[in-house]
Structure 1
């Protein structure tokens, strides 16, 4: 019983507070319209309108907190701060989906908040009216008596007390039954208007994953460069020193010495040189040193210059790329040019690279015989796997008779 009365009290307070806010919302829409139109009047709106939208966000957040507290749910606060600079503020205004939800809530609150608030006002005023009529009927003149339930005139205490008690009881029952449900319904509708939809949540999640992936790629690239540098400057240098000492030791042995010591030194020397060769291959496949020395443009120029098929480079504005994306693009171009030299019979190839909508587009075409088939070799499969590791895409166009075009898209947004 006490818990139910607490629900009635909290629901009634929630709805009655929402009634004046719904009335105020009727002024918000024209004010926002005036603020938007004022952008063309001396540019005043360029400064004022973003602040009006930010104020609307604060108001909507207050409503979200009220609704969440009534329903007993947890919400994540939304950012209501403005960026610095007029241009940044307008970019934030146009890009933020939350602004559209705030405006949708204001329009909805005018209708639903007003109706729910008036309903709560009726639930409260009905028993209060009966109580007032039952106690103050005698203040009215006899020819114009007060009326209570169903418009019955009150002219004596018995009628006043009896009908007043009935009206108070009916009003209390109506508030007991309807007020909590009406308040919860209005709170759920408000939260639904202000919370992102499933599509918006998916888009926001994709954005978060894109940002986190960019951070992972940067960290991965930095780690690759560190390992490559350590192997190149540390391990490889020590192997070179060991090989030199072993070579000197072999030279110091008598020429005719074919004993066990000479054989062991020879095997150790040759094994060290094999290890250095394998280490260089590992370093090149991890993060090619030429990328660190010359950058992606210089590395691609070196690939084109050394290609068995004459290759032409067409590079757009690439900007800063994650190291993992640079390495993947380098290896994809290298593998594609190698495949063209081995299988296509091409006399010319073109490598185009550009950056568009947060993706690095790598396109390699040749004038060979075409007919590239992934099932007949590992070249295209390797390219596809390398791109897939970064959530990239690969399109292959290679009709019989040529030409062959391989287009790879690698995400590189930061």
Structure 2
């Protein structure tokens, strides 16, 4: 019974919001039409962007309400609204303009009906108790046009009327709220074709970013090999050549050259391992993501609280991306944040791997200052994942990624 009452109350609140948006639409439609008309004369061009921005805010609020009611997300406007041309080019604005006149009627009708049915049980008993105010020759009539002429008939018919009103409130009011939410979702949500178009555009952007990131990675590896390992190998070859020439004349000098060549070979091997580790860390193949992140946390100069449950089979690219995000984020924490500690949480829900790195530093991350955030974002976008940085000035800073684990 408690759940039924909660559903009625939730539906009443939703229908109340529907009525409010319907009233707002009834006011907004004439204003928009008037502004559009005077815009042809150039007078309303200054007001129209502001009105479209307000309309977008109301429509996004309706998207949130309808999405919460239906249990799904309805995408709306992304970012701040620009000038009038940018607003009219935004598909969400066109959906707003399609929704507002329809909501002027649907919102008013469904909102009023849903609110009326919800409060009807409260009014049923007090209303029938006023039967004695009606004249005898024209008594109050209720269900099936039955006259109420005494307190006995008022009690009996009032009980029946209360049961019927409760039935309407319990069963019809939530369905009116659902119908209102579906109408809003139908008008405000992008169509399947629009979603596919946006998906293709997103894939084109992420693939272009992946190609750029791959090219930058290849150039980095080439630079590291050329400036580091290759230079070490050339130096080793020169020392071995000198040792070969002085083998018979100065054996002591040969020993020194061989020692330098050995040291150079060790340094070249160390640099080569570093390059290979940056491509795909061997520790991931040896110990898995859990062990690799434990090693990163252990090597961090700051205390790191690590929470990594059993993740099951994770594709190698996603594993590497998670490792690099945690490694880069903790490096930034040590270098730039002034934090005294950090927390790393890795979870897997279904086919989505989530990583959250939290620190108690000063915050204020700026992606344009070369903190590695742009590189992390490109790496995750290339895997069709989501990457978010929340770093207000004063902290704390949250670096989060969600990546699909579908092979």
Task: State the TM-score, normalized to the length of structure 2.
Answer: 0.51
Report what 2:73 is aligned to. 75
- 1:207-356 aligned within 5 A: 207-231=201-225
Aligned partners of 1:114, 1:172: CA distance in 2, in Å?
23
Aligned partners of 1:11, 1:130: CA distance in 2, in Å?
20
Find the partner of 1:199 among 193, 200, 203: 193
Instruction: Tell me how far 1:170 sits from its aligned partner.
Output: 1.6
Change in Cα spacing, 1:39 to 1:68, as seen in structure 2 (3 Å) is same
Change in Cα spacing, 1:80 to 1:198, as seen in structure 2 (3 Å) is closer
Aligned partners of 1:226, 1:112: CA distance in 2, in Å?
59
Per-residue deviation, residues 173-223 of structure 1 (Å, max 9, x unmatched): 222222222322322332333222222222222222222223223223323
Instruction: Tell me how far 1:51 sits from its aligned partner.
Output: 1.9
Report what 2:37 is aligned to. 37
Instruction: Tell me how far 1:93 sits from its aligned partner.
Output: 0.8
Per-residue deviation, residues 306-354 of structure 1 (Å, max 9, x unmatched): xxxxxxxxxxxxxxxxxxxxxxxxxxxxxxxxxxxxxxxxxxxxxxxxx
Find the partner of 1:184 among 166, 169, 178: 178
Change in Cα spacing, 1:6 to 1:234, as seen in structure 2 (3 Å) is closer
3-state SS of paired residue (1:123): helix
Report what 2:58 is aligned to. 59
Per-residue deviation, residues 141-174 of structure 1 (Å, max 9, x unmatched): 4455433334444333233222222222222222
Change in Cα spacing, 1:150 to 1:129, as seen in structure 2 (3 Å) is farther
Change in Cα spacing, 1:236 to 1:3, as seen in structure 2 (3 Å) is closer
Find the partner of 2:140 among 146, 149, 155: 146
Gaps of 5+ in 1: 255-414
Aligned partners of 1:56, 1:8: CA distance in 2, in Å?
29
Instruction: Tell me how far 1:8 sits from its aligned partner.
Output: 2.1
Change in Cα spacing, 1:236 to 1:162, as seen in structure 2 (3 Å) is closer
Q: Does the CA-based 8 Å contact 1:120-1:179 persist in structure 2?
A: yes
3-state SS of paired residue (2:83): helix
Q: Does the CA-based 8 Å contact 1:133-1:148 persist in structure 2?
A: no
Aligned partners of 1:252, 1:17: CA distance in 2, in Å?
93
Q: Does the CA-based 8 Å contact 1:67-1:191 persist in structure 2?
A: yes
Change in Cα spacing, 1:241 to 1:3, as seen in structure 2 (3 Å) is closer
Aligned partners of 2:119, 2:241: CA distance in 1, in Å?
105
Aligned partners of 1:226, 1:126: CA distance in 2, in Å?
72
Find the partner of 1:107 among 101, 105, 124: 101
Q: Does the CA-based 8 Å contact 1:145-1:154 persist in structure 2?
A: yes
Aligned partners of 2:43, 2:185: CA distance in 1, in Å?
35
Aligned partners of 2:14, 2:239: CA distance in 1, in Å?
86
3-state SS of paired residue (1:68): helix
Aligned partners of 1:200, 1:165: CA distance in 2, in Å?
53
Gaps of 5+ in 2: 249-407
Q: Does the CA-based 8 Å contact 1:16-1:121 persist in structure 2?
A: yes
Larger radius of gyration: 1
Alignment RMSD (CA, Å): 3.5
Q: Does the CA-based 8 Å contact 2:63-2:185 persist in structure 1?
A: yes
Per-residue deviation, residues 1-59 of structure 1 (Å, max 9, x unmatched): 221222122223322432243233233222222223333334542x3212212211211
